[in-house]
Amino acid sequence: MSQTHRTRLLIARKVPAAVANRAEADFHAFVTESDMDSASVVDFCNRHDVPAILIGKKSGLQAEHIAALPSTVRIIANASAGFDHMDVAAARERGIAVTNAPDALTECTADFTLLLVLAACRRASEYERIMRNGWGKSFGMTDMLGTRVNGKTLGIVGFGRIGRAVAKRAQGFGMRVIYTDVRRADAALENGATFYASLDDMLPQCQVLTLHVPGGGVPLMAKKEFGLLRKGAVFINAARGGLVDEDALYDALTSGHLFGAGLDVYQHEPNVDPRFAGLDNVFLTPHMASATIETRDQMGFTALDNVAAVLDGRAALNPV
């Protein structure tokens, strides 16, 4: 390290330049040039006694890593909404604050979800391939038809920040919105959306379904759940790949039960099941829902705001 002042923050993942510059100015941070792994994070912290760490998926910290951290560590900050790459309970047991950035991703993830809805319904990947291959053939009135978004019923699983932002956008497209969650939202937050107490009750009503809940555990959407959807429904996932049984999704897409799907997340990222790439009725993106300049900067700034609060002796702004 070249800093003359003591480093107060390890940034263990590559971050945008604006975030790195602020981190170096405010915390004399050590900013990695490529994502560090968990063992390297632990080693660095023990060699330099840093009180704060900003981690990513590759540098996720499980119980054994957290147990090996020095007592100087006071906060582990995540520049994302998700924190499934670390053991939060183990950190709490050691008195280490864990934070995330729940608001930073909301608007861009909601925008991207609508992109997936529109692209899957209107066969965007097929149309784009036709144009890149030179077009050369006119289409008639019955050729290459998509399905209209306006007037469709959109089912939302998880009515938190992102789910509600998606609902607002969908209503702007004239969609009817229904949702399910562990509890009903306040009427003011529902904004006209209809609550279903269970996923199984909601699925038969959905013409488009989108997921906005954390991952982990048994897949939420498996053979039974896809079977409950209406024939011709469209499935969207910009949440977590682990929410979906991909064999069941593939079967639903190839059998004709689903009209199509828009997917941004997968079970084994970045190694996506190659079967999906061979399907015309799937619009695929490489986990990019938050990938805008503004959002990635804000994700990093939120993590730094949390670091500043904890190191100043204040409560974390976004505790997990």
Give the catalytic positions in this structure: 240, 269, 287
- Ranges of H-type helices in 255-292: 274-277
CA distances to 46, 95, 156, 210 from 65, rounded to whole Å, are: 11, 15, 36, 35
**DSSP string of 172-188?**
HTT-EEEEE-SSPPPHH
End-to-end CA distance of the chain: 31
Question: Left if phi > 0, otherwise alpha if psi is -120 to 50, otherwise beta: which for 136?
Answer: left
Q: Report residue 262 as tokens.
A: 């828009």
Phi, psi of 218 (to 5 degrees): -70, 140
**What would the two tokens of residue 317 be?**
């702004």
Beta bridge partners of 75: 52, 97
Q: Quick check: bond before 70 cis, omega within 30?
A: no
Query: Could you give the count of Cα atoms lying within 13 Å of 163 in the half-sphere of its Cβ?
Result: 26
DSSP assignment, residue 203?
G
Q: How far does CA 51 lie from the centroid of its chain?
A: 28
Closest CA to 162 of 207, 108, 116, 243: 108
